[in-house]
């Protein structure tokens, strides 16, 4: 039986239960998702743009699905490891895939910003779900269609016209089920005209020896003049897999920053799809991966310039060690009649061991004149001359490697537009490179820190 078929059968058997726990707006999407999955096959390793990823293998285990919406107890204080000093946030949680308010106060009730579960929004703001949910998610992609078929709830973030969200909205995703579980997570962010919002999403795993799969679909709609920052931080375990699809639609004059950061994980596939549909829009697409052991991180991007006089800047950096595998496949498309587009794409990588593997495939596809576009990729090792120079100045080899790696990823961190988060990321990457960033440092589990040391 294929990985998809076992979940299609699950849907057929429990269709009434799935629909009964979900809002109408999600249920309305299921028939099309079901049709899209008929005859569909999850991409396997070696197919185009999936050189290092086998989605069939990721979805193959018989994960449980929380169809009956059983509430799991969660130690929010113990799991909330991504606290950013000097950054005040409105905090929300996904406990496995059940939405719950955070320990801190929620949004000021007098603030017009909407932050609600889909179930809540179906009662309070049904027109928002009906108008926007599922409009960007591409059901021709089997992993997206499967998420749409089985998801029962999600998070809606809506910022009305001309409004600035007073605090960063932080969403903490927790895995803590005692049995293997697949969580279907959905996020819909809509920034109306001239609205401004910053969102910080963090993935954590509370039990280190249980297999989990995070299937995530995020839709971001930035209307004319809107500004959206979306930061996505993954710090889970070697037994946690993640398949994430982020879709972005930008209107005229909008400014969107999406930053994906992988510090600890098992197997990760991140897809980013950006449609720039209005003039003078600006896009920043950043990514940083630190991987060791047998970690596997794959980032795939597609950025389409469908309007003239726009700018985009894309940079992904990897530092990989041991037998870890990294992959990057990115395409920038400039359509006809879209002059004066400035688009830049870069992928820079360090393999810190002879057994680490990196696959890279940058692409430009341009169908108009009068543009400034460039792309490039590089895979190498640390500069031996720089290491030698630093060692002659009395710096140990481990410390010298640490400093060079930190300098290597610094420009991606510098792209963060939240100063408090930027400072926190410098701290987290320092701990990651030194091997002190792990579950055992924060919640007392039996994780082996020695396996996480990337400086050897």
Predicted pLDDT of residue 78: 54
Name the token pair of 121.
Answer: 């929004």
Q: Which residues of the chain have pLDDT under 70?
A: 1, 45-52, 73-86, 101-109, 438-456
Q: How far apart are CA 135 and CA 42, in angstroms?
A: 22
User: Which phi and psi angles does 74 have, rounded to 5°?
Assistant: -140, 135
Q: For the segment 242-251, what is each residue's pLDDT rounded down to a tens digit? A: 999 999 999 9
Predicted pLDDT of residue 100: 75
* Alpha carbon 13 to its chain's center: 31
Q: How far apart are CA 207 and CA 371, in angstroms?
A: 50
Q: How far apart are CA 394 and CA 392, in angstroms?
A: 5
Residues 6+ apart with CB under 8 A from 150: 7, 10, 11, 18, 65, 184, 215
3-state SS assignment for residue 304: strand
Name the token pair of 32.
Answer: 């099309």
Tokens 């998809």 map to which residue? 4
Predicted pLDDT of residue 405: 82
Q: How is the chain split into domains, by residue range?
A: 3-278, 384-456
Q: Kindly tell me the sign of the dihedral angle through the C-alpha atoms of 73, 75, 81, 86.
A: positive
Other C-beta atoms closer than 10 Å to the C-beta of 358 total 22
Whether 254 and 410 have beta carbons less than 8 Å apart is answered as no
Q: For the segment 48-81, what is each residue's pLDDT rounded down to a tens digit? A: 555 568 899 999 998 999 998 887 765 555 555 5
Predicted pLDDT of residue 242: 97
């Amino acid at each position: 039986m294929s990985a998809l078929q076992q979940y299609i059968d699950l849907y057929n058997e429990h269709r009434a239960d799935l629909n009964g726990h979900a809002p109408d707006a999600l249920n309305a999407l299921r028939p099309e998702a079901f049709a899209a999955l008929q005859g569909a096959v999850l991409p396997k390793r070696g197919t185009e743009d999936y050189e290092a990823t086998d989605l069939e293998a990721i979805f193959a285990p018989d994960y449980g699905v929380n169809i009956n919406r059983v509430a799991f107890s969660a130690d929010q204080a113990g799991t909330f490891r991504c606290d950013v000093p000097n950054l005040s946030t409105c905090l929300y949680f996904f406990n496995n895939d059940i939405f719950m308010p955070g320990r801190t106060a929620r949004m000021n009730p007098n603030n017009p910003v909407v932050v609600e579960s889909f179930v809540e929004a179906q009662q309070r703001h049904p027109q928002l779900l009906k108008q926007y949910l599922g409009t960007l998610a591409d059901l021709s992609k089997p992993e997206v269609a499967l998420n749409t078929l089985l998801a029962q709830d999600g998070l809606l973030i809506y910022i009305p016209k001309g409004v600035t969200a007073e605090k960063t909205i932080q969403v903490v995703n927790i895995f803590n089920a005692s049995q293997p579980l697949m969580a279907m997570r959905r996020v819909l962010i809509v920034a109306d005209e001239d609205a401004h919002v910053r969102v910080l999403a963090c993935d954590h795993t509370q039990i280190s020896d249980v297999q989990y799969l995070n299937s995530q679909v995020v839709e971001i709609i930035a209307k004319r003049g809107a500004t959206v920052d979306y930061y996505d931080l993954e710090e889970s375990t070697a037994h946690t897999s993640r398949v994430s699809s982020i879709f972005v639609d930008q209107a005229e004059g909008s400014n969107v920053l999406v930053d994906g950061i992988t510090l600890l994980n098992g197997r990760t596939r991140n897809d980013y799809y950006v449609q720039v549909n209005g003039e003078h829009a600006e896009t920043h697409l950043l990514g940083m991966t630190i991987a060791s052991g047998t970690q596997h991180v794959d980032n795939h991007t597609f950025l389409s310039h469908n309007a003239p006089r726009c700018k985009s800047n894309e940079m992904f950096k990897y530092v990989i060690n041991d037998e870890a595998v990294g992959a990057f496949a990115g395409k920038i498309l400039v359509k006809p009649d879209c002059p004066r587009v400035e688009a830049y794409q870069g992928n820079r990588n360090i393999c810190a061991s002879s057994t680490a593997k990196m696959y890279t495939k940058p692409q430009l596809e341009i169908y108009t004149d009068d543009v400034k576009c460039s792309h490039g990729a590089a895979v190498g090792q640390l500069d031996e001359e720089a290491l030698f120079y630093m060692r002659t100045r009395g710096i140990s080899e481990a410390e010298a490697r640490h400093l060079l790696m930190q300098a290597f990823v610094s420009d991606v961190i510098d792209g963060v537009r939240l100063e408090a988060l930027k400072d926190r990321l410098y701290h987290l990457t320092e701990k990651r490179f030194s091997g002190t960033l792990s579950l055992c440092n924060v919640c007392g589990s039996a994780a082996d820190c020695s396996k996480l040391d990337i400086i050897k």
